[in-house]
Amino acid sequence: MEPEQLVLLLMAALAAGWVDAVVGGGGLIQLPALMVFNPGQPVAAALATNKLASIAGTSSAAYAYLRRTKPDLDVAGPAGAIAVASAAGGAACAAVISSDVLRPVIMVVLLGVAALVVLRPDLGRVPRPVLRTRRRTAAAVLVPGVLIAFYDGLVGPGTGTFLVMAFTGLLGADFVRASANSKIINTGTNLGALIVFALQGHVLWALGLAMAVCNIAGAQLGAHMAIKRGAGFVRAVLLCVVTALVLKLAHDQFA
């Protein structure tokens, strides 16, 4: 790898860590960068190395949120533990299920997320604890811990965004607290997928660890900005990330 290629990958990891810490979606930056700036590698190596860098950033962001805010540990903790196995299962199935089948479905869901955020400007701005019933609490464990985690191991793009919306919609959490919860679960999903990829021998360890350092730096900056600037800032970043994800998926589907 040429030095300029490495520099571009490290910059991408820094930006991905920031986006991931605020609202998720860092893979939108980091994974394409791995495939463009290191073109000789197999796709599985790019996916695996992306997970190595991402788990460093998400766990770092989770720690930053734990120090500055109060995540729902009674929900995010069990969901994060379940997510390790679910994401591992998704990663194991990645070679079987075609992403071409899933891509249109994901685009529709993301467009629904964008419409919901735009049409309900109060969503996620302030907490709504009245929504926290036993049934919704159970759903807030199972939906992120099983469904979204499996999706992260299988495909990946938009996982953090889906997690944020799950906690906002199911528990009435504000965007900042939902982001804090999502980082805990995203750490679990990255760990589960990384274990599978490592056992299969796909991880580029030297490159991944170098990118992990930059991902941590970006994650710390993003987490502190989200906490300091509040739900309105997170909402704006969320809309930008969702728009970028839809455009990226549409390009992959139709280009």
Amino acid found at 97? I
How far apart (Å, rounded) are the C-alpha atoms in residues 244 and 2?
29
- What's the gap between Cα 128 and its chain centre? 24
Residue labelled with tokens 């679990």: 188
pLDDT, position 28: 79
Residue labelled with tokens 């860098």: 53
pLDDT, position 93: 85
How far apart (Å, rounded) are the C-alpha atoms in residues 34 and 36?
6
Structure pTM? 0.86
> What are the residues whose beta carbons fall under 8 Å from the beta carbon of 214, sequence distance 6 or more?
10, 11, 13, 14, 17, 53
How far apart (Å, rounded) are the C-alpha atoms in residues 83 and 87?
6
pLDDT, position 238: 85
> What is the total count of domains within the chain?
1
Euclidean distance between the first and final Cα of the chain, in Å?
Answer: 28
CA neighbor of 194 nearest in space, from 71, 65, 44: 44
Amino acid found at 157? P
Residue 119 burial by Cβ neighbours in a 10 Å radius (0-12, 13-18, 19+) = exposed
pLDDT, position 180: 92
pLDDT, position 58: 94
The CA–CA distances, whole Å, from 111 to 16, 118, 155 equal: 22, 11, 18
State the DSSP H helix or E strand holding residue 194, giving kind and residue range, or none if neither: helix 175-199
Q: What is the pLDDT of residues 25-74, one digit of tens each?
A: 788 788 888 888 887 788 788 889 999 999 999 999 999 999 888 888 99
Q: Which domain holds residue 178?
A: 3-254
Residue labelled with tokens 């944020």: 164
Per-position pLDDT tens, the chain of length 255: 788 999 999 999 999 999 989 988 788 788 888 888 887 788 788 889 999 999 999 999 999 999 888 888 999 999 999 999 999 999 888 767 666 666 677 777 778 877 877 777 777 777 887 778 899 999 999 999 999 999 888 877 778 888 998 999 898 888 899 999 999 999 999 999 999 999 999 999 999 999 999 999 999 999 999 999 988 888 888 888 888 878 877 887 776
How far apart (Å, rounded) are the C-alpha atoms in residues 192 and 153?
8
pLDDT, position 219: 95
